[in-house]
Amino acid sequence: MHPLTEQPVRMTAVNEPFADPSTSIEEIFRSTYLVLRDSGYAGVSIQRIADRTSLSKSTLYYHFDDKYDLLMQFSEEFLSWYLERLVEEYEGDAQETLSRLLDIVLLGEADDGVLFEDVFAPGYIATILEMRAQAVRDQEMRTYVTVTDEVMRDHLVALIEDGIEDGTFIDVDPEATASVLFVFFEGGLLLRSCEEDTEWMAAVRDAADAYLEEIKQHE
Amino acid sequence: MHPLTEQPVRMTAVNEPFADPSTSIEEIFRSTYLVLRDSGYAGVSIQRIADRTSLSKSTLYYHFDDKYDLLMQFSEEFLSWYLERLVEEYEGDAQETLSRLLDIVLLGEADDGVLFEDVFAPGYIATILEMRAQAVRDQEMRTYVTVTDEVMRDHLVALIEDGIEDGTFIDVDPEATASVLFVFFEGGLLLRSCEEDTEWMAAVRDAADAYLEEIKQHE
């Protein structure tokens, strides 16, 4: 168990999305992140998000059609922010970025000591699972989940294309490779969040490594 | 979208768990399956399950401590039943059984035309996702999810051990191999259930196939 209240706040580069908002949109995203983290998807409403900004509810409706529109744009921004942060940290090294992502979700810790819980707040992951559960039967939520997953895969595609371009990877199909890595990544993310014993995931990390090794350019 | 109500009932061997209950326990499991399928996890209570059996609520409490105990035993039985059915159909061929499982979750259809929706009722999958979301913060649910996932991995371990024994697979570590296949399987299951576009998963099926090919015994 890692209830949010007992989680130590770690000042890593990756655990503070939209920490220093400079525009209304960023302020709204910051608040959305906090509401999702603290109350889960069930707690999300335009009113509640507005309450944690300096803005009025009507300002939020000026920027976003509705809650879904906001959540969809938030997810895109959140994932983009997160992945760009990782890429930046590794100076664009695709292989290192992917390895780090896989370490965090499959081993629970990156080699610099950043923990899974530092990056993925339990409340946020619970929200993702709640939305996925709702998406099984709700068309609007299904579209939302699909778009969010596509954004994530597109980022992986871009990383792999960078790796091909700079000679790190062989000439693989970036879409296909991203799809495989997405299942390792998202599968690991979802399973780690809700299981007590995650030791078994180390074997999955090894398999992901073998997969990356196969697409690596060797002299 | 595939709401249950519009889903055609297909008379395949795999879509009728506990269809012909011959004991009280089986009758309870049958009812549990129907309640989960129709109402999701939120709809589950000992009362509701009793209502769809010929038994009294106190008979249910005679057999199970509480709702969690019932759900935990149900999941074990359901998964065991499902996997045994598959193994039976393939006369114990581990490779074919695994291929079929992966076809169903990653391609959405087995080669005999059985669809993902025939095997995994949307209501049941939504329930699994709801329970996983709850497990992020709830210790009791977390134990339940962990045990259920272990049961699934244990079945995969048994399949791989059979395959090693009969010379289908090389002498791999059954636990490690089962862990990797579990992420392909469970990741595919969760993602297919909540996405609109699942074409990208064909590439994951190819990767799973390459993985199986690597552990296959070649002359």
Residue B74 has pLDDT above 90, yes or no: no
Residue B29 has pLDDT above 50, yes or no: yes
Alpha-carbon gap: B55 to the closest alpha carbon of chain A (Å): 31
With an 8 Å Cβ cutoff, are B133 and A150 in contact? no
Give the residue from A38, A183, A214 with the most B CB atoms within 10 Å of its CB, the best one to mutate. A183
- pLDDT tens profile A140-168: 889 888 988 898 899 899 999 999 999 99
Alpha-carbon gap: B81 to the closest alpha carbon of chain A (Å): 23
- Is A35 domain-assigned? yes
ipTM for the complex shown? 0.82
* Minimum mean pLDDT range among A85-89, A141-145, B44-48, B175-179: A85-89
**Same structural domain for residues A55 and A106?**
no
Residues of B in contact with A197 (CB under 8 A): 146, 150
Residue A14 has pLDDT above 80, yes or no: no
**Same structural domain for residues A25 and A109?**
no
**Same structural domain for residues A102 and A39?**
no
Residues of A in contact with B153 (CB under 8 A): 200
Domain end marker among A40, A64, A88: A64
Confidence of residue A89 (pLDDT cuts 50, 70, 90): confident
For residues A17 and A20, what is the distance between their CA atoms, to the nearest angstrom? 8
For residues A48 and B27, what is the distance between their CA atoms, to the nearest angstrom? 45
Q: Look at residue A187 and give its three-state secondary structure.
A: helix
What is residue A175's predicted lDDT score, i.e. its pLDDT?
97
CA distances from B118 to A103, B16, B122, B151 (A): 36, 9, 9, 22
What is residue A6's predicted lDDT score, i.e. its pLDDT?
38
**Same structural domain for residues A27 and A101?**
no
Residue A93 has pLDDT above 80, yes or no: yes
**Same structural domain for residues A29 and A86?**
no
- pLDDT tens profile A20-33: 888 999 999 999 98
Q: How many domains does chain B have?
A: 1
**Same structural domain for residues A41 and A139?**
no
Percent of chain B with pLDDT over 70: 92
Mean pLDDT computed over every residue of chain B: 84
- A-to-B residue pairs, Cβ atoms closer than 8 angstroms: 148
Confidence of residue A15 (pLDDT cuts 50, 70, 90): low
**Same structural domain for residues A30 and A76?**
no
**Same structural domain for residues A130 and A171?**
yes
**Same structural domain for residues A111 and A136?**
yes
Residues of B in contact with A126 (CB under 8 A): 133-134, 136-137
CA distances from A156 to A101, A105, A119, B133, B199 (A): 11, 15, 18, 25, 17
- Please report how the helices A174-194 and B122-135 are oriented relative to each other, as an axis angle in degrees rounded to 10: 60
With an 8 Å Cβ cutoff, are A122 and B135 in contact? no
For residues A176 and B155, what is the distance between their CA atoms, to the nearest angstrom? 29
- With tokens 């576009």, the residue in question is B197
- Is A14 domain-assigned? no
What is residue B219's predicted lDDT score, i.e. its pLDDT?
66
Confidence of residue B187 (pLDDT cuts 50, 70, 90): very high
For residues B54 and B51, what is the distance between their CA atoms, to the nearest angstrom? 8
Nearest CA in chain A to B184: A183
Q: How far apart are the first and last CA of chain B?
A: 46
CATH number, domain containing residue A31: 1.10.10.60
Which of B125, B183, B191 faces A204 most closely, judged by CB atoms? Answer: B183
Say if CB A212 and CB A151 are below 8 A apart: no
Nearest CA in chain B to A134: B126
**Same structural domain for residues A90 and A53?**
no
* Minimum mean pLDDT range among B121-125, B168-172, B193-197, B206-210: B121-125
- Is B7 domain-assigned? no
Closest CA to A143 of A63, A75, A211, A193: A75
CATH number, domain containing residue A102: 1.10.357.10
What is residue A94's predicted lDDT score, i.e. its pLDDT?
86
What is residue B49's predicted lDDT score, i.e. its pLDDT?
95
Which of A1, A135, A139 faces B142 most closely, judged by CB atoms? Answer: A1
**Same structural domain for residues A135 and A116?**
yes
Of residues B44 and B50, which shows the higher confidence score? B50
Confidence of residue A118 (pLDDT cuts 50, 70, 90): confident
Which of A129, A143, A191 faces B186 most closely, judged by CB atoms? Answer: A191
Which of B122, B133, B191 faces A130 most closely, judged by CB atoms? Answer: B133
- Is A4 domain-assigned? no
What domain range includes position B202?
Answer: 14-215
What is residue B15's predicted lDDT score, i.e. its pLDDT?
55
Strand partners, B109: B115
With an 8 Å Cβ cutoff, are B146 and A197 in contact? yes
**Same structural domain for residues A35 and A123?**
no
Say if CB B90 and CB B188 are below 8 A apart: no
Percent of chain A with pLDDT over 90: 41
Nearest CA in chain A to B177: A203
